[in-house]
Amino acid sequence: MRARVVLIAIIFSSSVSFAFAQPSTRGVVVAGSVQDQTGAILPGASVQLVTAGGVAIQTLVSDTAGAFHFERVPAGDYSLRVEFPGFASKETRVRVGGRAPAPITIVMQIEGLSQEVSVSGGGNETSARGDANLDAVTVGEKTLDDLPVLDNDVIGALSRFLDAGAIGTNGATVVVDGVEVNTLAVSASAVQQVKINQDPYAAEYMRPGRGRIEIVTKPGGRDYSGTFNIRFRDSTFYAKNAFAATKAPEQRRIFEGTLGGPVAGAEKTNFMISASHDAEDNQSIVFADSLAGPVRSNVPTPLANSLASATINRQQGEAHTISLRFSHQHHSLHNQGVGGINLPEVGRDTTEQEDDLTYSQQTIVSPSLLHEFRLMVGVEREPFVSLTSQPKIVVNDAFVGGGAQADSLRTERHFTLVDAMTWSTKRQTVKVGVNIPDWSWRGYDDNTNTAGTFYFASLADYASNRPYSFIQQRGNGSVRFLEKVLGVFAQDEIRVRPNLTVDVGLRYDWQNFFHDDNNLAPRFSFAYAPGGHGRTIVRGGAGIFDDRTGPGPIQDLLRYDGRHLERVVLTDPAYPNALAPGQTLLAEPSSVVQLAPDVTIPFTLQYSVGLERQLAPKTTLAVTVVGSRGYNMFRSRDLNAPAPPLFLARPDPSRGVVREIESAGTMRSASLQFTLRGASTRFNGTAQYSYGRAYNDTSGIGWMPPNNYDLSLEYGPADYDRRHTIELFGSWIAGRWFTLGASLEAYTGRPYSLTLGTDLFNTGTANARPAGVPRNSLRGPDYTSLDLRWSHDVVLAAARKRTLTLGVDAFNVLNRENDSYYVGNLSSPFFGTAVSASAPRRLQFSLRTRL
């Protein structure tokens, strides 16, 4: 709380001093209007006045007549940078002398079939704008087309640029067209731009920049256009996985496309339809050890995904733009959960369906006031069915057999709302609003582990019928609850001088079930261009970011309250019948989950300072130092664990495990990051290198320490700690013959813990470490993967830019063995070795048509 108070005081005093320090300037008026190719006006266009050095000194929105009006512009050379949804960005040079220049008419070109997309924040130029930080990752449509992207998974391809320490308990935040969503509900070719870490301290968002992915989709356009993609993979063109006895027969087929254009008979109305269907005959690799010897097999795990969405956009008069989108998704996955040490019998099937309806409205209230409203409603249903109903058998880090014990049903009805006002003047842009990232009526029917699970420390114990614990559930596992998450924000971008911008913001977040009502999160950032050339920018900021639990912990609190679902943990049970003669499960004490009396929502203080430099007209380098500190981090602890020094019996024999969710953990991280971005007529790419460290004393809200009475050895490298990280992607156009795209991912290994594999503390969990050994004392292997794409465009109709693109992608082209799980269990036959690896070299063939 002290950090919150100090930062609020700093931001308040800074904003007051900057507000009173704004100088007055004299100059002339620069005015004009924005229109499309037909001469129709474009109200609501973003217009920036940019110096010759690339520094934006004034920003406004064109009024209802499409007009803009900059006052007090000093003499010099400038550019007018104009952007409007559905149109390619336009930059027009203007020279200002002693008299005002003639009114300027800016004609915007329809985005339509254009191969090159430029969206705000995506340029490779220095700027003192608050949202123009050059350590962001921004990928447009053309770059996405040229890069090797496995299975059209845009989010998966770029999520590696996220920072695991910034993601939070509920996972990464995905924002599509300004609305927070669970999944991307449009096909890949409907994506216009993906942004990560743009404006990292914006008060509009709950999480930091590297904890969220922002996606902008394509509008319908005023001309009919479409894209159709076919992507195909087959194991004939694969290398063999390092852990597979034989190369498994696999195949994946993806059909995907979009169609957009004007709605016949409806002026100023357009549509966009996108759809995809993909099916994969996948195989999981089992690499386990049993009493009968090693188990090496390939197990079919097929899946099928279908997606369809339709969007209608309409300009209602000169001041209103509305949009309505409906999407339907259906996922079918079979035999999931198999692979590694998990034998085929522990597989489960699931079929997920989600339907969403999104309404957006943008209203120009006045030339300086913009109102945005977005509402998404949706329903989801996701059942899990185990292949067999047998009790589950877990021999730690050797094999998992029996049944999956995973039967459950998850349902959800939800809505998401964003309502914001933006007020722009010559020197300030103020945005205030309310957003509800999640308001969900959730249901969860938990029928998992009804037959129970036996845990063995080693194969020798399994051969001797000597489990160390047996866990089984009974009772009513059905819960219904309403999850509420609410945020309110205000942010002010102050253009103090042409070369200095200051952003101040304040956000308040609240969620139910966790009675913590004082979550004020101040944010502050600045961008300063020393000198007058604007080629160098000093940028920095600091902010508080509150966490969010998501539904999982809430479900635990409701299910395991001592009255609904009972979870029984027996230590040192008999086998194969866990209960002794005459003993019943009803007589055994059950486990509960509860909140600590002083539990609060965790928050992270993030701060950064960096230098950005324009090396060439389209080449920039950003060097940034980023630090963060986590307060009140989530963890769990068994309050009824057997007490030291013998750890023989629970203090309260009438209760089982008493898992208390606490907010008592800490986190510290720091990194030095280099970001190089370059672009030309033939090349476009980004490279990032990071050296950093991250330490904490918790692995998350569900993590429990081995010794619940001594946490002195828990502070160590975070699970996601990586010393060195290199990320690179880019494309090179080699004349008219082909385009080459490349993506490189390389990093040093993550830590993991050395464990004994035995239940030393008699808690029912075999996570004890050797005496004096801290958490995460071992380090896993390095990882390197180079992906390449070759593509060639065949022009079908030059006048209408119709093309046919042939492509070949090679993933992990060097066929490097990237081991993905190292065993630190001393009791395991695999101790000190890996039991699984990432995919070997794979080829993907693609065919794309643009109509």
Q: What pLDDT, in 10s, does the model give residues 489-541?
A: 999 999 998 889 999 999 999 999 988 888 999 999 999 999 867 789 999 99
Higher pLDDT, 16 or 258: 258
Question: What gap in Å lies between CA 563 and CA 68, rounded to an integer?
Answer: 65
Alpha helices (H) in 472-513, listed in sequence order: none
Residue with tokens 């900057």: 18
Q: Is the sign of the CA dihedral 101, 105, 111, 113 positive or negative?
A: negative
pLDDT tens string 642-684: 999 999 999 999 999 999 999 999 999 999 999 999 988 788 8
pTM of the predicted protein model? 0.85
Q: Which of 94-103, 357-366, 374-383 has the lowest mean pLDDT?
A: 94-103
Q: What is the pLDDT of residues 85-105, one digit of tens each?
A: 656 678 888 888 767 777 788
| Peptide bond between residue 300 and the one before it cis (omega within 30 degrees of 0) | no
Round to whole Å and give the CA distance between 696 and 714: 8
Percent of the chain topping pLDDT 70:
92
What confidence tier does 24 reach under pLDDT thresholds 50, 70, 90? very low
Question: What are the CA-CA distances from residue 789 to residues 455, 496, 739, 806, 843 (Å)?
Answer: 46, 46, 8, 10, 10
Give phi and psi for 18, each to the nearest 5.
Answer: -70, -40
- Tell me the mean pLDDT in the region 162-172: 89
* Backbone angles phi and psi of 734, in degrees to 5: -95, 70
Handedness of CA 676, 679, 683, 686 (dihedral sign): positive
Residues 251 and 282: beta-carbon distance below 8 Å: no
**What gap in Å lies between CA 341 and CA 285, rounded to an integer?**
9
**Residue 37 forms beta bridges with which residues?**
none
Longest dimension (CA), the chain: 101
Contacts 24+ apart (CB under 8 A), 98-105: 98/28, 99/28, 100/28, 100/29, 100/30, 100/31, 101/28, 101/30, 103/31, 103/32, 103/33, 104/30, 104/31, 104/32, 104/33, 104/80, 105/32, 105/33, 105/35
Q: Is the pLDDT of residue 9 over 60?
A: no
pLDDT at 23 (0 to 100): 39
Write the burial class of residue 19 (CB in 10 Å: 0-12 exposed, 13-18 middle, 19+ buried).
middle
Domain ranges of the chain: 1-109, 217-850
Cα separations in angstroms, 183 against 154, 187, 327, 383, 465:
11, 11, 11, 18, 45
Confidence class for position 318, pLDDT limits 50, 70, 90: confident
Neighbours of 21 (CB within 10 A): 12
**Residues 6 or more apart from 16 whose CB is under 8 A from it?**
none
Q: Phi then psi for 12, rounded to 5 degrees?
A: -65, -50
CATH match for 217-850 among 3.40.640.10, 3.40.50.850, 2.40.170.20, 3.40.50.1100: 2.40.170.20
The tokens describing 116, both together, are 């090159």
For residue 149, pLDDT beyond 80: yes
496, 511, 485, 543: which is closest to 203 by C-alpha? 543
pLDDT at 285 over 90: yes
**What's the N-to-C CA distance of the chain in angstroms?**
57
The CA distance from 549 to 169, in Å, is 5
Amino acid at 20: F
- Amino acid identity for residue 235 in this structure: S
Taking residues 806-812, report their average pLDDT: 96
pLDDT at 121: 35
pLDDT of residue 116: 25
Contacts of 816 (CB under 8 A, 6+ apart): 784, 785
Q: Check pLDDT > 60 for residue 481.
A: yes
pLDDT of residue 458: 96
Dihedral angle sign, alpha carbons of residues 337, 341, 342, 343: positive
- Cβ atoms of 300 and 270 closer than 8 Å: no
Per-residue pLDDT for 13 more than 50?
no
- Third-level CATH fold of 1-109: Immunoglobulin-like (2.60.40)
Half-sphere exposure of 288 (CA within 13 A, CB side): 26
Q: With CA atoms as reference, report the closest residue to 166 among 745, 667, 735.
A: 667
Q: How far apart are CA 157 and CA 153, in angstroms?
A: 6
Q: What is the pLDDT of residue 40?
A: 53
Q: Which pLDDT does position 65 carry in this prediction?
A: 59
- In this prediction, residue 120 carries a pLDDT of 32
Range among 76-80, 173-177, 772-776 with highest mean pLDDT value: 772-776
**Cβ neighbour number for residue 601 with a 10 Å cutoff:** 21
Dist. CA 302–CA 680, nearest whole Å: 43
